[in-house]
Amino acid sequence: ETIDACQPGRELQATLRPYQIEGVRWLWFMTELGLGGCLADDMGLGKTIQVIDLLLLRKRQAASGLALGVCLPNAKRQAPGPSLLVVPASLIGNWRQELARFAPSLKVFFAHRSECSAEKLSEIAKHPAPTLAEFDLVVTTYGLVRRQSWLEKVRWPLAILDEAQAIKNAGSTQTRAVKKLPTSCRLVLTGTPVENHLGDLWSLFDFCCPGLLGTAPQFKQYVKRLNQRQDAEAFASLRRLVRPYILRR
């Protein structure tokens, strides 16, 4: 019931569809409680615009110092500083266009060589938190997270991964670098939370909801036991466990 008081779309330069309003409210509710989540809507349903409106909600909330008129018993006061968005390099231009089109009021810094100079990145690396404090959002790429250690020196209030299947390989250098980002709340966006096997799901949740699915060896043994069962409901317990943290339409 508390989600109904959240009003998506007020600052967005677009009209949200009803299911997108529901998605924004869900994202806001999860982040208010300090929980992680996975927005797993199919391609073309507007994951990008839902996240952009969430960022507008958070900016309004930070400016007012209020919880958007909603009193959640376990809600955390929003920490100062910009949110972090990590995307594949090929999507930098798309995010730039969408942010400029739908949320021109957001102050965005693109931490990538295609958008700023090497000198600017070096300058930020010296004092990242105070230098970036004026922005609402920092957008960077998976490759930059792997190579720019200064990203680990900022306590990000919210970290969002687009095309989060990029961290499905839990043992890769890229995945380990992303999971070292210090952040109060984590969201992942992917239309394919399971691409090849359930290990993909574990790696995503190890980022957005650390500990929920146990350690990698524990989860592997758990899945092995489920595979040994022959009934159709073998994986029902896993579905029940992750369902509150996944929104998929």
Q: Mind listing the pLDDT tens digit for each residue in 186-233?
A: 999 999 888 778 999 999 999 999 999 999 999 999 999 988 887 768
- What's the Rg (C-alpha) of the chain? 18
pLDDT confidence bin for 234, thresholds 50/70/90: confident
Distance separating alpha carbons of residues 119 and 73, to the nearest angstrom: 45
What is the mean pLDDT of the segment spanning 146-153? 94
Question: Could you tell me if 27 and 51 are in contact, meaning their C-beta atoms sit under 8 angstroms apart?
Answer: yes
**239 or 70, higher pLDDT:** 239
**Among the listed residues 34, 35, 33, 27, the one whose alpha carbon sits nearest the alpha carbon of residue 56:** 27
C-beta atoms surrounding 203 within 10 Å: 22
pLDDT confidence bin for 74, thresholds 50/70/90: low
What pLDDT does 79 receive? 64
Query: 10-14, 19-23, 75-79: lowest mean pLDDT where?
Result: 75-79
CB proximity list for 91: less than 8 A, separation 6 or greater: 162, 163
What pLDDT does 193 receive? 86
Cα 239–Cα 235–Cα 19 angle in degrees, nearest 5: 25
**Among the listed residues 10, 40, 74, the one whose alpha carbon sits nearest the alpha carbon of residue 187:** 40
Is pLDDT at 20 greater than 50 in this prediction?
yes
What pLDDT does 66 receive? 55
Mean pLDDT of the chain: 91
Is pLDDT at 101 greater than 50 in this prediction?
yes
Is pLDDT at 73 greater than 90 in this prediction?
no
What pLDDT does 68 receive? 46
What pLDDT does 151 receive? 96
pLDDT confidence bin for 71, thresholds 50/70/90: very low
Give the position of tokens 């691409």: 195
CB proximity list for 205: less than 8 A, separation 6 or greater: 36, 38, 212, 213, 242, 245
Q: What is the pTM of this model?
A: 0.92
Question: What percent of the chain is modeled with pLDDT above 90?
Answer: 78
What pLDDT does 69 receive? 44
